[in-house]
Structure 1
């Protein structure tokens, strides 16, 4: 059954690395909509140290995570075993948004595989690391990553991505500020 861990040890790192999908959940301070986003591409997630993780935030149709983190910092990342022994791992913590203009960005980006359409890097300082049984999570097989997001971002020029972000990523569905006007400029480098 469930266990609380002091740190992300080697066994948990191995479990994280073996999962082809993870889920990110955030919520506004009061009212509004809870957001849960599935994330693919295993090379978009990195364990930075025993209690800190990060993931590559790629272009998307919304900006809920960024908006919520800037408002209150609360975030949970969840991994489920869809093959092998049952397990659910949750990383609860405080997240921060690292945009390309941030001095930490150049160092952090080296932790990830190459992807176009990078908006930011989300860094999570974990204050609770827990797993639970996952007995009811179904077995599912992983065929391959969908490449559609990378292909979509790769087809857009800088102005098209800037326009898309200005239209879709300035505020959350609840009107919470997301990316500022200066932050809608696409990163000129791949991760």
Structure 2
């Protein structure tokens, strides 16, 4: 049976900290709904109604485009290893790019990365748990270093080129504002 909460409890925060994977869902008015798996050391719960997660440069940039249209976001964690629970956080998110004043302070909460593309500052409006009894067991074997190595090999100039050539629009053609003029 699903239970709803006004924010994260200590138990929820401990559950999130124990997970190696989470999912992010966003959507614009039209086009595709995006659900992305996220890992690495990229999420911090800052309070009962606030979390941040750092988005690293990748092949697409759907979340930024969707949030520019509608700032709603859902995050989900599944207990694959021990505890059979699904936890969802529903809320709104503010997109911060490296050019934004608040980005550096929040980015300092994470390990250094040339690939840091956005930080999403999420206001959590509701948390929901459900049983997760149908979720299979999966064992965590370790983190992949491929994305971090890719970003290190590209360096800051290569990352900027990738943003310009591959990350300015969603797959539905919506702007991501990754290259927006900070003085505009």
Q: Is TM (by shorter chain) over 0.5? A: yes
Instruction: Report the TM-score when normalising by structure 1.
Output: 0.90
Could you tell me which residue of structure 1 aligns to residue 70 of structure 2? Answer: 72
2:178 matches 1:148: no
Could you tell me which residue of structure 2 aligns to residue 128 of structure 1? Answer: 126
Greater Cα shift, 147-156 or 174-183: 174-183
Distance 1:6 1:95 in 2: 17
Distance 1:158 1:144 in 2: 27
Distance 2:47 2:97 in 1: 20
2:39 matches 1:40: yes
Could you tell me which residue of structure 2 aligns to residue 25 of structure 1? Answer: 25
Q: Is the 8 Å Cα contact of residues 56 and 120 (structure 1) preserved in structure 2?
A: yes
Q: How many residues align?
A: 181
Q: Is the 8 Å Cα contact of residues 114 and 155 (structure 2) preserved in structure 1?
A: no
Could you tell me which residue of structure 2 aligns to residue 111 of structure 1? Answer: 109
Distance 1:146 1:157 in 2: 19
SS in 2 for 1:90: strand
Q: Is the 8 Å Cα contact of residues 63 and 179 (structure 1) preserved in structure 2?
A: no
CA RMSD of aligned residues (A): 1.3
Residue correspondence of structure 1 range 173-184 to structure 2 within 5 A: 173-182=171-180
Distance 2:52 2:69 in 1: 19
Q: Is the 8 Å Cα contact of residues 26 and 63 (structure 2) preserved in structure 1?
A: yes
Distance 1:117 1:180 in 2: 13
1:65-88 deviation digits (Å, cap 9, x = unpaired): 000001110110000000112000
Q: Is the 8 Å Cα contact of residues 6 and 129 (structure 1) preserved in structure 2?
A: yes
Q: Is the 8 Å Cα contact of residues 97 and 122 (structure 1) preserved in structure 2?
A: yes
Task: Report deviation, 1:182.
Answer: 4.2
Distance 1:121 1:104 in 2: 9
Distance 1:156 1:120 in 2: 17
Could you tell me which residue of structure 1 aligns to residue 3 of structure 2? Answer: 3
Task: Report deviation, 1:181.
Answer: 2.5
